[in-house]
Every structure is written in C-alpha cells, then in structure tokens.
C-alpha cells in the first residue's frame, strides 16, 4: 500500500524532466567486543541476500559492504530506504557478533594491509595497483543522478568541478585511521588521491576528448576496467547517470539525503546553465588540488579555497554560497528547507570528523566507534 504523497513529494514529481537520484553507501564492519574493524563481509552478505537480494553487495575488502538504493525522485522515500538498508546490515551483522559504522576509514584495528575480497577482478587490481591497496579499507558516499547522454554528463561534470572541494569539506568524516588521529578531517581523501585516476576529473572539452584521455589511461595500464575510472565526478560505467563520489561516508542517513538532494540540485542548475549557453568555469588542476588538500585538512570548521577567486574564505561561507547557487533547483524539487536546515546543522555541529573528535573527548577511541554504531542507524526523525 502506497502512502499519500506529501507536498514536497508532489512537487518533485511535477518538475519537468525531474532527475532521479540513487545512493550507494559503503559501510564498515566492526567486532562487537573489541570494536576493531572485522573481516566478516561474507557472512553478513549471505544474511542480507535472504532479505533484500541485490541491495547489499561486496566491496574490495572483507571489512566492508555496500548498500545500493533504488532510484528516487523524492527525498523522503530515499531517506526511508537508506535507513532500512542500514538497519538491515546492522541486524545481519549483529547476528554474526559485529556492528556497523558509517565512517570514511576504520577508527580501530590492524587494517594495513586489509583483507581483500576474493575474485578475478580484485586479484587483477592487486597485481596492477600493489601497495596502493594498503589503505583500501576506505568508505565513500556515492550519488547517481539521471543524465541523458555522455555529452551532458561531461558538461555537468565540468560545472561541478569548482564545488567538489566544498562538498568534501562538508562531508569530511575520516579523522582517525587504525587507532591514530591523522590531524586531517578527511584522511580518506588524501589516501585516495594517490591513485592514478582519482580526485577531481580533468576539464573535458567534448566526448571525443574524454575518450582520448581514457584511451591514454588504458595504454598506461592505469585502468583495470572502465569501473576503475575513479574521478570524484564521472559518467557512471554501467548506468545512464552522473556519479558524484567525492564525499566520505556520512554518519547518518539524514546527512546522506541532504547531500543527495544538494547534488541533484547542483546537477539541475548545471543543466540549465548549459541550456542557456553559459560557459563552464575551468579552475586549474593545481588550484583544485590545493583546495582539496585544505578541505581534507580542515573540514567545515576552517578555511577553504574559493577556486574561482583563488582566495581563502571560511569553509562554512563556501557551503552557504553553494546552497544559494543550487537554490532555484532546490525550491523546484521542494528540497530547499531540507537542505538549508541540514547545512545549517552541519555548520553548527561540525562535519562528521568534528563530531568523531567530540565523541572521543581526548580519550580512548572506543567511544568514537560506539558513537558511530549508534548514529549509523539513528532515525533522522
């Protein structure tokens, strides 16, 4: 039985050419007693498959699982599914003596190198990337937005490039790694940036330019397959979507929905800009790299680099500017209140990294893991 649509759901369905959105969430497994990362993916996946086939899958290490939402137009439906999937994984993990945490990296445990999932693709990856896998127990939050074709996807990706460091600062949620405070808000972003095809994508002039670059990357041996094009915004390899994958895994389902709605709005605004013939900004790779580093170091509580003006400004101000930029689409979808209030909460209470450090209170990191276990399945209502 379907519930009646609320006002924002009706509005989302009335937007001409409304863009669907889907979310992938990578979750870490921890031993319920020690709170250290635990290689229990196989047993948990077996239990999940009995209840929700195809909604939970393996990841590159056996410390992780990944949930996959269906496409949604309305944020309320997406929130319900994300929370349902998180609770499913938590319930199945509990039956195996484990807990589930939503964090960019394992807080505790001997995870270098991590246990790699068996399979030909992962074995090929190990042969290709070698010690880059040592910190692959990292978890990201990924949003897929409907996009009509490759040309549109590349044009929108160009327009999203200036906002990627801002999204990173807002989502930063990996300050600890294997028992150590890294001093960064997102150590995952720094570790991930060492890979040959990761971080912000190049500015692509056309689909032909994109194929030319992919051809050169393939010749270099940097790609195992099209799925190993790991740029933080990319045309999805197997879906007619644009995938935005810059964010650390978010602590709560509510944050995930806020980010998904904000990213959809940024895509919608970008499509309108392209229709009007407005040129896409093209900050240099060097400036973007510096902005990424600052966002990864300081998160939302420090300064960020405006890649257009090339001036340092408060990261919170950059976040507010991004919401203002996306506001026409947020209002059209009925998501303005959700996103503006969600971003205000982040500014007031801190990104995930700040909240992890607050949970630690300078003491043992067990408290951080317990906090994450509780918040991962918390009801946003």
Q: What is the pLDDT of residues 268-311, one digit of tens each?
A: 999 999 999 999 999 999 999 999 999 999 999 999 999 999 99
Contact 133, 194 (CB under 8 A): no
Does pLDDT of 5 surpass 50?
A: no
Q: 3: pLDDT confidence band, cut at 50, 70 and 90? A: very low
- What digits encode the pLDDT tens for the residues 321-362? 999 999 999 999 999 999 999 999 999 999 999 999 999 998
Percent of the chain clearing pLDDT 90 (strictly above): 85
Do 323 and 339 meet the contact criterion of CB atoms below 8 Å apart?
A: yes
Q: Which segments within 200-302 are labelled E, that is strand?
A: 230-231, 233-235, 241-248
* CB-based contact 45:57 (threshold 8 Å): yes
Residues 6+ apart with CB under 8 A from 337: none
Q: What is the number of alpha carbons within 13 Å of residue 330 lying toward its C-beta?
A: 23
Going by C-alpha positions, the residue among 152, 176, 167, 154 that lies closest to residue 322 is: 167
Q: Tell me the C-alpha distance between 154 and 202, whole Å.
A: 10
- Residue 24: how many CA atoms within 13 Å on its side-chain side? 21
**Are residues 281 and 203 in contact, defined by beta-carbon separation less than 8 angstroms?**
no
Cis before residue 113, ω within 30 degrees of 0? Answer: yes
CATH topology classification for 17-375:
Creatine Kinase; Chain A, domain 2 (3.30.590)
Higher per-residue confidence, 133 vs 190: 190
User: For 110-186, where are the alpha helices, taking DSSP H only?
Assistant: 120-129, 150-160, 164-171
pLDDT at 135 over 70: yes
pLDDT score of 51:
93
Residue 226 has what pLDDT? Answer: 80
- Answer whether residue 12 shows pLDDT above 80: no
- Residues paired with residue 64 on neighbouring β-strands, in sequence order: 28
Strands 98-101 and 64-68 turn out to be: unpaired
The pLDDT value given to residue 120: 87
> d(Cα 100, Cα 376) in Å, to the nearest integer?
7
* Least confident segment among 50-54, 72-76, 169-173, 347-351: 50-54
DSSP labels for 184-195?
Answer: SSBHHHHHHTTS
Q: Tens digit of pLDDT for each residue in 194-216?
A: 888 899 999 999 999 999 999 99
Q: Does residue 52 have a pLDDT over 60? A: yes
For the entire predicted model, the pTM comes to 0.94
3-state secondary structure of 224: coil
227 three-class SS = helix
Residue 289, Cβ density class (10 Å: 0-12 exposed, 13-18 middle, ≥19 buried): middle
Report the mean per-residue pLDDT for the chain: 94
pLDDT band at 183 (very low <50, low <70, confident <90, very high): very high
363-372 average pLDDT score? 97
Q: What proportion of the chain, given as a percentage, has pLDDT over 70?
A: 96
- Tracing tokens 């937007």 back to the chain, one arrives at 15
Domain ranges within the chain, ordered by starting residue: 17-375
């Amino acid at each position: 039985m379907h519930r009646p649509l609320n006002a924002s759901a009706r509005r989302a369905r009335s937007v001409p050419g409304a863009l669907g959105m889907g979310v992938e969430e990578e979750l870490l497994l921890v031993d319920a007693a020690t709170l250290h990362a635990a290689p229990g993916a196989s047993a948990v996946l077996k239990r999940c498959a009995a209840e929700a086939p195809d909604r939970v899958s393996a990841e590159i290490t056996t410390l992780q699982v990944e949930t996959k939402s269906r496409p949604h137009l309305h944020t309320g439906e997406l929130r319900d599914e994300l929370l349902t999937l998180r609770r499913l994984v938590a319930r199945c993990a509990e039956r195996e003596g484990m807990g589930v945490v939503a964090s960019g990296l394992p807080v505790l445990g001997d995870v270098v190198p991590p246990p790699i999932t068996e399979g030909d693709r992962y074995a090929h990856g190990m042969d290709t990337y070698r010690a880059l896998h040592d910190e692959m127990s990292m978890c990201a939050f990924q949003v897929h937005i409907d996009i009509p074709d490759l040309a549109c996807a590349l044009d929108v990706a160009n327009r999203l490039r200036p906002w990627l460091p801002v999204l990173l600062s807002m989502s930063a949620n990996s300050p600890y790694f294997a028992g150590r405070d890294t001093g960064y808000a997102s150590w995952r972003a720094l570790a991930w940036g060492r890979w040959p095809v990761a971080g912000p994508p190049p500015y692509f002039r056309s689909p032909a330019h994109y194929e030319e670059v992919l051809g050169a990357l393939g010749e270099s041996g940097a790609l195992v397959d099209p799925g190993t094009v790991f740029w933080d915004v990319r045309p999805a390899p197997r879906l007619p979507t644009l995938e935005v994958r810059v964010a650390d895994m978010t602590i709560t389902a509510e944050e995930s929905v806020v980010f998904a709605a904000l990213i959809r709005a940024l895509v919608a605004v970008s499509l309108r800009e392209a229709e009007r013939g407005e040129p896409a900004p093209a900050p240099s790779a060097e400036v973007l790299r510096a902005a990424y580093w600052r966002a990864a170091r300081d998160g939302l509580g420090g300064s960020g680099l405006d890649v257009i003006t090339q001036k340092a400004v408060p990261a919170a101000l950059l976040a507010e500017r991004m919401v203002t930029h996306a506001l026409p689409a947020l209002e059209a979808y009925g998501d303005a209140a959700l996103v503006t209030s969600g971003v205000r909460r982040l500014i007031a209470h801190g990104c995930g990294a700040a909240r992890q450090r607050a949970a630690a209170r300078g003491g043992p990191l067990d408290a951080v893991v317990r906090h994450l276990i509780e918040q991962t399945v918390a009801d946003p209502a």
